[in-house]
Structure 1
Amino acid sequence: MSAPSSGEPTHNHGRRGLSRRAFVIACGALLGAGATLRGAGLGQAAPPIGKVMPTGIAVDAQWHAAVARAGYREKVATVNGVRFSYREGPRHGPALVLLHAQQMDWFSYSRVLPTLAQHFHVFDIDYQGHGTTRTPHGYPMTANRIGADLAALLESVVAGPAFVTGNSSGGLLTVWLAANRPDLVRAAVLEDPPLFSAEYPRIKKTIAYRDFTSSNKAVVHPVDDFLLFWINDSREFFDQNVFPGSSVVLTEAVKAQRLIRPGQPVELDIVGNDMIRLFLRGMDHQYDPHFGAAFYRGTWNADFDHATALAMIEAPSLLLHANYSWTDGDILFGAMDQKDADKAMSLLRNGTYRRIDAEHVTHLDKPDEFLAITQSFFAALQSGSPRR
């Protein structure tokens, strides 16, 4: 992996305080992610209740600048009634498609985008239900519909086979593309996808299911502001595990930043961990809870059997397996356990397995390791040398 370009922000991998494991158990978050919060609270010292917190975005502003310097531009393309939003980098190599985790958006890749731009022609896509991509009213949030429309987008804007890497739900969509549209996928990196564990009814025994409960509530009784709804729905956890009144502080911080930066997703410096901060960003008037509700109800995977799809994939595929554990005895905290990963590898015809000591969104938790692993995998395929 090449060294970061001059002026690129440095990565901060330090562990800070309350584990994301407790955060997810009580109120949900990214599937199996395990980040930490700074200190004992959401950010630095716990503030007086009701005080409006600073709303600067110094942490993420440096990464917005780094992405812009690397040559990325926002693009829009309408395909099959879906108005897709994506970021496209300069033409510095073969096409590389990025598909983020659920409840995040394109910006989750900001820590790796500058380096990737040096070697690839990157397409960082907000898929349906996320970011500023917009779907028609009543759009079916199923793998088959989302995958088919994503394939149409790739045909339109990439215009040729690409390397594809997807995280979490984005990893499942990568599986769909590689299985059903092999003409579009040159090789795939499956970044900790919830293979088998996201299928119904087994999903009920995962930590993610608790998060999808909030999404389903917001669909049954529609809400105008999902982020504030989610914070309020999680207030008992915040009060017990962060500090009393912390949900109020977080709510007021969100409202304050919206006044200062109208029309922009929130990026709260008081939340010291990248994954949680960008998770909150992804939910701020960007995430469609119908996407999570489809997992809750078991409809997202309708007619999309994970084992069948994996067995169909002929392209070289790298399965990147992040950390996992168990909570409450039999609830999977993570995307896959070892049995799931072993089963997936037994089905992939041309698969490589890599275990990584990182949390679910590996490109945020361990961006340098993610870059080293994925770039080595793709480079070996380009050169024709054997993979390790």
Structure 2
Amino acid sequence: MNGTTGAGWRRTAVIGGGVLAATAAGLAVLNRVIDGYVDPWKARVADAGFSLKTTRVGDVELSYAEGPDNGPALVLLHAQHMDWFSYSRVLPALSRRFHVFDIDYPGHGTTVVPADYPMTANRIGSDLATFIETTIGEPAFVTGNSSGGLLTTWLAANRPDLVRAVVLEDPPLFSGEYPRIMTTIADRSFATCSDAVREGVDDFLLYWIDSNKAFFTKNMAPGSAFLLTQAVKAYRRAHPGEPVEIGLLPDDTVRLFLRGMDQFDPRFGAAFHEGTWNAGFDHAEALAKVACPALLVQAEFSILPDGTLNGAMSQEDADRAMSLLPDGSYRRVEATHVVHLAEPELYTDLLEEFFLTR
């Protein structure tokens, strides 16, 4: 689950506002901005020594970015709906003191899985464990955001031989389990995923935009969803085969959210909505089995008037998680859900301070 989608409705507002502002400057300017945009962090990540690689893990072609060997192994597991590049703003800094492995786990990015691949924590966690065991070849520090935080918990609980310590970046502990998931704002996106799977949708990003058309119209202006759709199509024409990056959008998290959605397998989100993702993976039982040092980072959240959780965890969820972790530390941060994008320097400091003292 994803607080990226949990905060997705706020992001939708920013997306629509950005598109409308750009359109006011004229369609010709809009096309130039779209066609010519290159995320400046691509060059910074490459200059830091990162390269994109793939490796075979069973029947999965796993894609990942690997940095230079400047310290202990560090595995990064992004949020749902995003990909490895969501960590781009912290990769150069982290690479100075770690050997970073930034993974597109199944359902995301350019990782390729069979059509019948089971989107479950148990299967994905097992494949990630095999990656650490065979590709990294030594126990690693592991951190994950949102759904990546749940997979980090899975690894620490089920493969303690491969995990030195973990940082859980705003994971949806307990709130991501069925049927509790139905009381979260994130489930609105996961319901869209389920619909897309049932209807056999080929282009999930455009389907997602169209499914939220009424929200765009109500909160921005009539036609704003159409304008965003045209921006996506224009970028694809100018950059065939590349993940969508709409440079006119003013917020890093929004841009990288759309990039991830362009490569996302909706079966992953549907599995949360339908309650199958956590099959055999009880969050409370897993937390109690995490013997290594664990830092739980909680970002901002709110409870809507109807009781819906807008965020990854309530305070009660975080408190319960801390009561179960045998060697747990807690940090509340004033940041949105994808902390490594909202507060990259804070995030880097947290990881270095926690991991390098272990």
State the TM-score, normalizing by the size of structure 1: 0.87
Match of 1:47? 23
Decide which of 290, 305, 330 is 1:328's aligned counterpart.
305
Q: What are the superposed Cα offsets for residues 163-191 of structure 1, whole Å, 9 maximum, x if unpaired?
A: 00000000000000000000110000000
- CA 1:60–1:340: 2 relative to 1, 3 Å: farther
Partner of 2:285: 308
Aligned-pair CA distance for 1:243: 2.1
Q: Check whether the contact 1:46–1:243 (CA below 8 A) recurs between aligned residues.
A: no
CA distance in 1 between counterparts of 2:110 and 2:116 reads 17
Task: Pick from 297, 318, 324 the counterpart of residue 274 of structure 2.
Answer: 297
Unaligned runs of 5+ in 1: 1-23, 382-388
Structure 2 CA distance for aligned equivalents of residues 149 and 39 of structure 1? 34
User: For residue 219 of structure 1, what is the aligned residue in structure 2?
Assistant: 197
1:378 aligns with 2:331: no
> Matched residue of 1:380: which SS?
coil
Please give the per-residue CA displacement for 1:191-224, whole angstroms capped at 9, x wherever unaligned. Answer: 0000000111111100011010110001101111
CA contact (8 A) 1:30 1:101 kept: no
Paired residue for 2:173? Answer: 195
**What amino acid sits opposite 1:314 in the alignment?**
A
Q: Deviations over 1:16-37 (max 9, x none)?
A: xxxxxxxx9xxx9523466586
Q: How does 1:144-183 map to 2 (within 5 A)?
A: 144-183=122-161
Q: Deviations over 1:78-137 (max 9, x none)?
A: 111000000000000000000000000000000000000101000000000000001112
Q: Which amino acid in the other structure matches residue 135 of structure 2? A: V
Which residue is 1:347 aligned to? 324
In 1, Cα distance between equivalents of 2:267 and 2:15: 34
Structure 2 portions without partners, runs of 5+: none
Aligned position for 1:9: none
Deviation per residue, 1:139-159 (Å, 9 max, x gap): 110100110111111111110
Q: Render the CA deviation track for 1:353-373: whole Å, top value 9, x for unaligned.
A: 000000100000111111111
Deviations 1:233-261 (A, max 9, x none): 11111112122211111111111111111
4+ residue runs over 6 A deviation: none
What secondary structure is seen at the aligned counterpart in 2 of 1:30?
A: helix
Select the residue among 237, 247, 263 that pairs with 1:259. Answer: 237
Checking the alignment, whether the CA contact within 8 Å between 2:13 and 2:220 is kept in structure 1 is no
SS at 1:183's partner residue? helix
| Residue pair 2:61, 2:111 contacting (<8 A) in 1 also | yes
> After superposition, what is the alpha-carbon deviation per residue over 1:305-351, rounded to whole angstroms, capped at 9, x for unaligned?
00000000101000000010011320000100111111101110111
Corresponding residue number in structure 1 for 2:6:
31
Read off the aligned partner of 2:150 and give its amino acid letter: L
The structure that is helix-richer by fraction is: 2
Hey, what's the Cα distance between the residues in 2 that align with 1:29 and 1:377?
24
- Percent identity for Structure 1 against Structure 2: 57
| Residue aligning to 1:239 | 217
Residues 145 and 169, structure 2, Cα contact 8 Å, conserved in 1: yes
SS in 2 for 1:132: coil
Partner of 1:41, secondary structure, is helix
Task: Note the C-alpha offset of 1:272.
Answer: 1.2
> Which amino acid counterpart does residue 103 of structure 1 have in structure 2?
H
| Counterpart residue type for residue 209 of structure 1 | D
Classify 1:43/1:367 alpha carbon distance in 2 versus 1 (closer, same or farther; 3 Å).
farther
1:73 is matched by which residue type in structure 2? S
Query: What residue identity is the alignment partner of 1:152?
Result: T
Q: How far apart, in 1, do the equivalents of 2:357 and 2:234 lie?
A: 48
Cα distance between partner residues in 2 of 1:349 and 1:217: 40
Query: Any conservation in 2 of the 1:191–1:320 contact (CA below 8 Å)?
Result: yes
Deviations 1:64-84 (A, max 9, x none): 000000000001001110000
| 1:125 counterpart letter in structure 2 | I
Q: TM-score, normalised by structure 2?
A: 0.94
The alignment's C-alpha RMSD in Å is 2.0
Match of 1:6 in 2: none
- Give the partner amino acid of 1:171: G
Question: Which is worse superposed, 316-325 or 326-335?
Answer: 326-335
Do residues 369 (structure 1) and 346 (structure 2) align?
A: yes
1:138 aligned residue: 116
Cα 1:58–1:163 shift into 2, 3 Å: farther
